[in-house]
Amino acid sequence: MALILVGCVGAAGLLLFAATGGWRQVTVGRSVEFPDPTEWRTGEQLLPWLPAVAWAAMAAAGAVLAVRGLARVVVGLGIAVAGAVSVIGAVAVWSDGARIVWVAATVVAGATLVAAGVVTARHGRHWPTLGARYQRSPAGAPGARDGRAAEGPAETWAALDRGEDPTLD
């Protein structure tokens, strides 16, 4: 799980970095006396949605920690879609005048997101969840203190006074 999350955050960071690079040189005007003026178009100018996809993938990596079950599968599929969209966009704007390094970085980052999303969707249901150990146990369930769950703040304070740790259920 940690490897997938690190890969997802790293790929999203690479997408953000690639969006700032000069992808393609374009002519911005005509000049009779001087060579035609040119400027570099960044990945963000060619694909304005690329940084948003990167931020969404980074947020989805955090969401993987916060959700469980079917929601985690949906988040994993969202990560995979974000990666696929990045790859398709990079390939669509690639041309002979483009710097291949930025297109390649975007394709690698997108492919990493696709892989992380697919693995999350496939195996995410079995990964540990955030905060599951702190959830209240129903009365009589394994983990409930003395066969009953705490009834409210007063019972919790009474348990603390007895020397019991409510976080060790």
More confident residue, 83 or 130: 83
Structure tokens at 94: 């690639």
Average pLDDT over residues 138-164: 66
Tens digit of pLDDT for each residue in 81-94? 999 999 998 888 88
Query: Residues in the chain, how many?
Result: 169
Q: What's the pLDDT score for residue 60? A: 93
Structure tokens at 22: 């000069």
Residues contacting 47, CB < 8 A, separation 6+: 19, 89, 90, 93
Answer whether 0.95 is exceeded by the pTM: no
Structure tokens at 160: 């603390």
29 and 37 in contact (C-beta within 8 Å)?
Answer: yes
Tens digit of pLDDT for each residue in 10-46? 999 999 999 888 877 776 777 667 776 777 788 888 8
- Annotated domain spans of the chain: 2-28+39-126, 137-168
Indicate the DSSP class of residue 138.
P
- pLDDT band at residue 133, thresholds of 50, 70 and 90? low
Is the pLDDT assigned to residue 136 strictly greater than 70? no
